Amino acid sequence: MPDSGRAPVLSLSEVSAGYGPIQILHEVSLHIDEGEIVAVIGPNGAGKSTTFKVIMGLINHLGGDVVYLGHNLVGLRPDRILGLGLAYVPQGRVVFGQMTVRENLEMGAYLERDKSRIKEAMDYVFTLFPRLGERPSQVAGSMSGGEQQMLAMGRGLMMRPKMMMLDEPSLGLSPRLVDEVFDKTVAMARGGLTVMLVEQNAARALEISDRGYVLELGRNRYQGTGGELLDNPDVRAMYLGGGVRGA
């Protein structure tokens, strides 16, 4: 495992988790260092989204440690975790459909009381996603899929997080918008954000990532730098299937 020499922002060691009595994750370990983009790939149902949910305190934690910047996240409520600077953008472009773009972004800054900081964060989001800035009063549910994804990402930026977990941001988008989403992800990382990215679009994700993990049936399977995984024949055969992009 290559050591970037940077401090880990988030590390999971042997984390098990599930829904009610059903265990999905079996002793998953991974870590993300400061400023990295780390991709988590794997087939449908591998437990990628579940990994995000257990980090965020949304589901049953059955064992193992989740440590974020020295804080043990196990047992913390999602709002506390967000308060520590860890943002999560769920799968499926989930925005508040009946709220306007501005209201969605305000919800992203729900924990921020300082109006001027909210304004600054919103200006940053509008700079990064100009199309949101053009239509702050549009009802989110009436926007295109790509715009909704940008809004979900923008909402995740409103608390000025140190790290963001992005679940399948390119899912179901047209190729042009997929490019745009990946470009924005890289742009956010350049702005100092540590990014953990789950993607079906494994090849594209690994191209922009420093490192990656492959999960299978709720367990660690492979890990390495983006390049190593892209060159690994097993990974190629299973997830990068003959150069086909996407799932």
Partner 1 sequence: MDDRAEMLGPEKAGRETAFSRPFADTAPAVAPAVGRRRGRGWMERSEVRSLYLLAAFLVAAYALPFVIGIRYGTVRWDAEWLGYLGTVVLSGFLQGGVYAMFAVGLTMIFGVMRIINAAHGEWVMMGAYLTWAAFFYLGVDPLLSLVFTLPIAFVFGMVVQKLLLNAVVGQPELTGLLVTFGLGLTMIYVAELIFTTDFRTIPYAPHSVQITDSIAVSQNKLISFTMALAISVGVYFLLKLTRIGKAIRATALNAEVAMVCGVNVGLIYLITTGIAASLAVAGGALVSIQFGFNPETGIIYTLQAFTIIILGGRGHYLGALIGGFMLAVLESLVSLMIPNGTAMVELAAYGLLIAVLLIRPGGLMGVKEG
Ligand X SMILES: Nc1ncnc2c1ncn2[C@@H]1O[C@H](COP(=O)(O)OP(=O)(O)O)[C@@H](O)[C@H]1O
Point out which residues bind partner 1 (CB under 8 A): 19, 53, 56, 58-59, 77-79, 82-83, 87-88, 90, 92-99, 103, 106-108, 110-111, 139-142, 144-145, 148, 155, 159, 171-172
Nearer to Mg ion, 52 or 129 (CB): 52
- Contact between 46 and ligand X per CB under 6 A: yes
Q: Among 50, 149, 170, 201, which residue interacts with ligand X (rule: CB under 6 A)? A: 50
**Helix 115-128 / helix 101-108 crossing angle, nearest 10 deg:** 120
Q: What's CA 222's distance to the chain center, in Å? A: 19
Identify whether the C-beta of residue 205 lies closer than 8 Å to the C-beta of residue 40: no
Rounded-to-integer distance, Cα 211 and Cα 144, Å: 31
Instruction: Give the residue with the Cβ less far from ligand X, 28 or 118.
Output: 28
Nearer to partner 1, 107 or 217 (CB): 107
CA dist., res. 100 & res. 154, Å (int): 13
- Tell me if 49 contacts Mg ion by CB under 5 A: yes
Report in angstroms the alpha-carbon separations of 96 from 34, 101, 103, 224. 30, 9, 9, 36
**Nearest residue to 157 via CA among 79, 89, 84:** 89
Which partner from the list ligand X, partner 1, Mg ion, none does 110 bind, CB cut-off 5 to 8 Å by kind?
Answer: partner 1
50 interacts with Mg ion by CB under 5 A: no
Instruction: Identify the residue among 14, 45, 144, 175 touching ligand X (CB under 6 A).
Output: 45
Instruction: Give the interface with ligand X as residue ranges (CB under 6 A).
Output: 19, 22, 24, 42, 44-50
